[in-house]
Amino acid sequence: MAIAGVVTVALTGWLAFLLAGPVVSLTTLILIGTSPLMVVSSRIGQSENLLIVFWLLNLIFLSLHLSGANRKWLWLAAIASGLSMLSKVSGIVSVIAGVIILLHQPRKRLAVLVSEIVLFGVVSLSFFALFFVYGAAIDWNVFKNIWTSNIDRTYDIGFSPIFNLITTTKITISKLLTDGWPLLGWFGLSFLYGWRDEKSKYFVLLPILIYLVFFLLMGSSSYGWYRTPFMPFLFIAAAWFLSDGVKNVPRMLQAVLLLIPLGINVGKIVEILPSISLTPYLRLGLPSLILVFVLFEFLPSNIQTKYQKIAKALYLLLFTIAILSNIVLDYLMTPEYWLQMN
């Protein structure tokens, strides 16, 4: 799982690079590589941690195929999609998302488009058939009973699944590990949707929405690992949103939202090390910082241009402090402690 976690970080950064370039890719690597939630959850032996490795590979190969129209990438995308289904049946989301992505090729002739979709579907779904081959080889009746028992599982997602999904970050069935970065990713999704960027729409927003359908269908909100496949895309969305403040002019909203993960991390650090007193610094520092960005937001454009470098420097300083809080919390979280966190 530790190896799969490292590979997930690398693949998420690679996908971000293909979609948005080196700045977003580096930001994504920093976020997902230091997030306390991902550090802990990626070490847990659950099949979702393997599913996201193959799903990310699937999307990377599809992106390369659309860029170069080379059939080898399509074959590799189909194989990766099939392996994601072998990791867990919910990996079927990679097939559905892949078909929709392949359909979005308006410049290709219909015959070529159909042939690509058929190739992708047949190759990827052939892996799914291995479930039934395995079941028949061992004991068909036992396999059928196991399959039926999974279909009849209790639906326990509750009455507010979207609210819980966005506002709580879980590790196991009952253990929470509150992390502000996924919440920042949900904000980032609205930013990307409003931007109407084609790559973000099909390789970030679409996978989240497709998996959301299966997340609701499976109804197992109580299992923290069911949320893991959302995470790579949420971290890309968060990185894309935050990187825009580096490449362009940092906005007040980006700076203020950075305070969410920073505040959560600092709160947990103080829980672990209660002797540290940060209240005086926070009481003066946070309002002053927010006031600076508020004033910068509403100043005339000529003054904004004049002081743009100062605003960027403050924004980068705030981002750096937030990342350092990730790293400090990662080192302070012993296995005994994170089980007591909420």
**Domain regions of the chain by residue span:** 2-248, 249-342
> Is 338 a residue whose pLDDT tops 80?
no
- Residue 199, CA atoms < 13 Å, CB-side half-sphere: 17
| Highest-confidence segment of 50-64, 112-126, 221-235, 252-266 | 50-64
pLDDT given for residue 151 in this prediction: 67
Identify the band that residue 182 occupies on the pLDDT scale cut at 50, 70 and 90. Answer: very high
Confidence of residue 231 (pLDDT cuts 50, 70, 90): very high
- When pLDDT is averaged across residues 190-202 and rounded to a whole number, the result is 75
Average pLDDT for 262-285: 78
Give the mean model confidence (pLDDT) for residues 145-152: 75
pLDDT at 220: 60
Angstrom distance (rounded) from CA 237 to CA 15:
12
For 113-123, what is the mean pLDDT?
Answer: 89
Tokens 């990679």 sit on residue: 94
Q: State the number of CA atoms in the 13 A half-sphere of 251 facing the CB.
A: 9
pLDDT level of residue 166 (50, 70, 90 thresholds): confident
Task: Decide: 64 and 18 in contact? Cβ < 8 Å.
Answer: yes
pTM (2 d.p.): 0.89
